[in-house]
């Protein structure tokens, strides 16, 4: 049985490492080719800085490339074994199908646990280092302070949350602005849309909000607020925080421990931390997709029994096209609080794990 297990693992690990290498390179190159060309040709950035950017991109790419590589590898390896009737021969010798799949499941579990730690530490550190490198080469744009789906702490006095940003038109949509005040309730401004004009030399962004409400203090009792509806509302956001140039961390730059500290801070200030809770669960569930892809990929490979690489890769692409939109949708629902943020990110993995378990039981019963 040990010989058989080692044979199966060799069949699995070879396409895993090959696919991971190719996929990581393609994702880095294709996703960032335009930006890299602009850095080198138009911005005159030296090759060392560009190489550092490449290096810091890799951990974030691995977060997605490794699970996809696991799925492709298990489909290719078991698909070939099943297509050559080796699986039938092994089962005819009295070996249970579970024992055939178990080594893959164990490897998937190990990779998922390792990726949780990797996503929490290496990926967060690399994402922050990537932003620092961009700042160091003088490419930081004040308008980049606006980012979709995260709490923005780049401005004095205010905390922003924006659901959609159109950088080309300098517009933002579904805006929430919080102004924590010591000893008083947190002031809140909500608007359907807004426009901004960056003034880099003064580190100020002029913001025009459209169609919204604002909590305004009661002059007779400053601890109380009343709600004011507005068609347009103007305010200045100051980018300077007096932190001597230190770059603030965004949620993707934070470890789970740092995110939890930020969640506790937001709760004390009366701000819903759903986006940060979703971010923690996203880190964990993207890592667990290695295990889930093994659960669903192994029985599919045994059922289809096709050794052709194109067919197995096609099955992998179909699974990916279903899985990742579900992840994106679950993240959006969790951030907006429409589904409990502690639960939303677990839904896609739960669905795929249930399907995989069902298919495995069905194969064992046949």
Pair 132, 247: CB distance under 8 Å = yes
Q: Clarify whether residues 283 and 335 are in a common domain.
A: yes
- The answer to whether residue 267 sits within a structural domain is no
**217 by DSSP, 3-state: which?**
strand
Cα within 13 Å of Cα(47), Cβ side: 0
**114 by DSSP, 3-state: which?**
helix
Largest CA distance in the chain: 87
Segment 149-168 shows an average pLDDT of: 80
Q: pTM score, two decimals?
A: 0.71
pLDDT at 50 over 60: yes
For 74-108, how does the pLDDT look when each residue is reduced to its tens digit (9 = 90+)?
999 888 877 777 767 776 776 777 777 888 899 99
Q: Clarify whether residues 98 and 213 are in a common domain.
A: no
How does DSSP assign 28-95, residue by residue? HHHHHHHHHHIIIIIS---HHHHHHHHHHHHHHHHHHHHHHHHHHHHHHHHHHHHHTTHHHHHHHTT-
Pair 84, 301: CB distance under 8 Å = no
Q: Clarify whether residues 115 and 201 are in a common domain.
A: no
Closest CA to 309 of 72, 87, 101: 72
Least confident segment among 53-57, 197-201, 311-315, 327-331: 197-201
H or E segment to which residue 276 belongs: helix 274-304
Least confident segment among 19-28, 91-100, 207-216, 338-347: 91-100
Which of 131-140, 183-192, 280-289 is most confident?
Answer: 280-289
Q: Clarify whether residues 19 and 129 are in a common domain.
A: yes
Least confident segment among 63-77, 87-101, 154-168, 333-347: 87-101
Q: Clarify whether residues 74 and 128 are in a common domain.
A: yes
* pLDDT computed for residue 235 by the predictor: 87
**228 by DSSP, 3-state: which?**
strand
Closest CA to 70 of 326, 295, 306, 349: 295
Residues 6+ apart with CB under 8 A from 221: none
First to last CA, the chain: 22
Dist CA 219 CA 223 (whole Å): 9
Residue length of the chain:
366
Q: Clarify whether residues 26 and 79 are in a common domain.
A: yes
- The answer to whether residue 257 sits within a structural domain is no
- The answer to whether residue 6 sits within a structural domain is yes
How large is the C-alpha radius of gyration of the chain? 25
Q: What is the DSSP letter of 239?
A: -
Q: Clarify whether residues 119 and 196 are in a common domain.
A: no
Which of 149-153, 204-208, 321-325, 332-336 is most confident?
Answer: 321-325
Q: Clarify whether residues 15 and 131 are in a common domain.
A: yes
Pair 73, 12: CB distance under 8 Å = yes
Segment 67-80 shows an average pLDDT of: 92
- The answer to whether residue 114 sits within a structural domain is yes
Whole-number Cα distances in Å, 95 to 89, 100, 266, 363 = 9, 8, 55, 13
Give the structural domain span for 189.
Answer: 155-240
Pair 281, 341: CB distance under 8 Å = yes
- And the tokens for 203? 């580190």
Q: Clarify whether residues 114 and 164 are in a common domain.
A: no
- The answer to whether residue 348 sits within a structural domain is yes
Please report, to the nearest 10 degrees, the dihedral formed by the alpha carbons of residues 117, 119, 125, 130 taken in order. 160
Dist CA 111 CA 72 (whole Å): 15
Given 194, 219, 240, the domain boundary residue is 240
pLDDT band at 242 (very low <50, low <70, confident <90, very high): very low
- The answer to whether residue 199 sits within a structural domain is yes
Pair 178, 159: CB distance under 8 Å = yes
Burial tier of 77 (Cβ tally within 10 Å: 0-12, 13-18, 19+)? buried
Given 219, 240, 261, the domain boundary residue is 240
* pLDDT computed for residue 334 by the predictor: 92
Q: Clarify whether residues 18 and 119 are in a common domain.
A: yes
Domain count, the chain: 2
Q: Are strands 171-181 and 184-199 parallel, antiparallel or unpaired?
A: antiparallel
- Average model confidence (pLDDT) across the chain: 83
Q: What is the DSSP letter of 120?
A: I
- The answer to whether residue 83 sits within a structural domain is yes
pLDDT at 109 over 80: yes
For 245: left if phi > 0, alpha if psi spans -120 to 50, otherwise beta; the answer is left
* pLDDT computed for residue 226 by the predictor: 78
As a whole-number percent, the residues of the chain with pLDDT over 90 amount to 39
pLDDT at 282 over 80: yes
- The answer to whether residue 65 sits within a structural domain is yes
């Amino acid at each position: 049985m040990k010989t058989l297990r080692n044979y199966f693992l060799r069949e699995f690990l070879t396409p895993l490492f090959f696919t991971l290498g190719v996929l990581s390179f393609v994702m880095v190159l294709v996703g960032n080719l335009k930006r890299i060309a602009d850095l080198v040709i138009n911005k005159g950035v030296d090759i060392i800085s560009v190489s550092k950017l490449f290096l810091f991109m890799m951990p974030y790419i691995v977060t997605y490339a490794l699970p996809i590589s696991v799925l492709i590898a298990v489909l290719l390896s078991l698909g070939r074994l099943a297509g050559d009737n080796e699986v039938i021969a092994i089962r005819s010798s009295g070996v249970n199908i579970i024992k055939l799949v178990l080594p893959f499941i164990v490897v998937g579990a190990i990779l998922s646990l390792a990726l949780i730690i990797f996503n929490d530490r290496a990926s967060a550190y690399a994402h922050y280092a990537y932003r620092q490198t961009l700042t160091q080469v003088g490419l930081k744009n004040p308008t980049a302070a606006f980012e979709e789906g995260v709490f923005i702490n780049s401005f004095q006095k205010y905390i922003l949350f924006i659901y959609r940003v159109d950088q080309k038109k300098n517009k933002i949509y579904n805006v929430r602005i919080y102004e924590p005040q010591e000893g008083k309730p947190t002031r809140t401004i909500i608007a359907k849309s807004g426009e901004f004009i960056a003034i880099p030399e003064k580190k100020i962004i002029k913001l025009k909000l459209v169609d919204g409400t604002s909590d305004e203090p009661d002059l007779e009792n400053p601890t109380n607020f009343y709600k004011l509806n507005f068609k347009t509302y103007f305010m200045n956001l100051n980018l300077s925080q007096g932190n001597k140039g230190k770059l603030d961390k965004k949620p993707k730059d934070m470890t789970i421990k740092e995110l939890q500290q930020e969640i506790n801070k937001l709760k004390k200030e009366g701000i819903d931390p759903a986006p940060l809770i979703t971010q923690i669960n996203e880190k964990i569930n993207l890592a667990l997709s290695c295990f889930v892809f093994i659960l669903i990929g192994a029985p599919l490979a045994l059922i289809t029994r096709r050794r052709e690489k194109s067919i197995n890769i096609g099955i992998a692409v179909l699974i990916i096209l279903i899985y990742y939109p579900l992840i994106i949708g679950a993240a959006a629902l969790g951030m907006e609080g429409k589904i409990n943020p502690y639960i939303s990110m677990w839904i896609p993995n739960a669905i795929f794990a249930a399907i995989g378990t069902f298919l495995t039981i069905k194969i064992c019963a046949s």
